[in-house]
């Protein structure tokens, strides 16, 4: 079993109301060198919160999570940092439309399988 950390990615359509929709999960497992994210934008649900949401911009922001997790040049300057630093950057407290929950720890044998399970439980 390996220690992992994860955070739920949230869209907060109107930051001042503090209401959110879970749209993804980012998971980091140091022992396995694993850092990945999975997301899904439920467009109808998000637009019910605020019809002014720019869904194209939201998609771009969430794709940035994927690129940063993948690392290298496609993740920009942040993507070139070590995986632990990238995870901490992605999960830093923000006051924007895309935020993450507090970081939660756990134990797993297979981080990819754990990411899929958490995504199904917390997002879908």
CB 111 within 8 Å of CB 2: yes
State pTM to two decimals.
0.92
Q: Domain segments of the chain: what residues?
A: 2-122
The pair phi, psi for residue 11, each rounded to 5°, is -105, 125
Task: Write out pLDDT tens, residues 90-116.
Answer: 999 888 899 999 999 999 999 999 999
Task: Write out pLDDT tens, residues 46-57.
Answer: 988 888 889 999
For residue 85, give the nearest of 99, 75, 97, 74 by alpha carbon.
75
């Amino acid at each position: 079993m390996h220690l992992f950390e994860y955070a739920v990615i949230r869209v907060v359509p109107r930051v001042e109301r503090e209401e959110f929709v879970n749209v993804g999960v980012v998971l980091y497992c140091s022992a396995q060198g694993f850092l990945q994210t999975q997301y899904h934008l439920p467009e109808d649900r998000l637009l019910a919160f605020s019809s002014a949401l720019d869904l194209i911009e939201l998609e771009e922001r969430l794709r940035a999570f994927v690129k940063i997790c993948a690392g290298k040049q496609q993740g920009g300057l942040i993507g070139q940092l070590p995986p632990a630093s990238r995870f901490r950057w992605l999960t830093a407290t923000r006051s924007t439309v895309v935020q993450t929950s507090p970081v939660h720890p756990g134990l797993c044998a297979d981080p990819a399988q754990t990411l899929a399970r958490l995504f199904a439980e917390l997002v879908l």
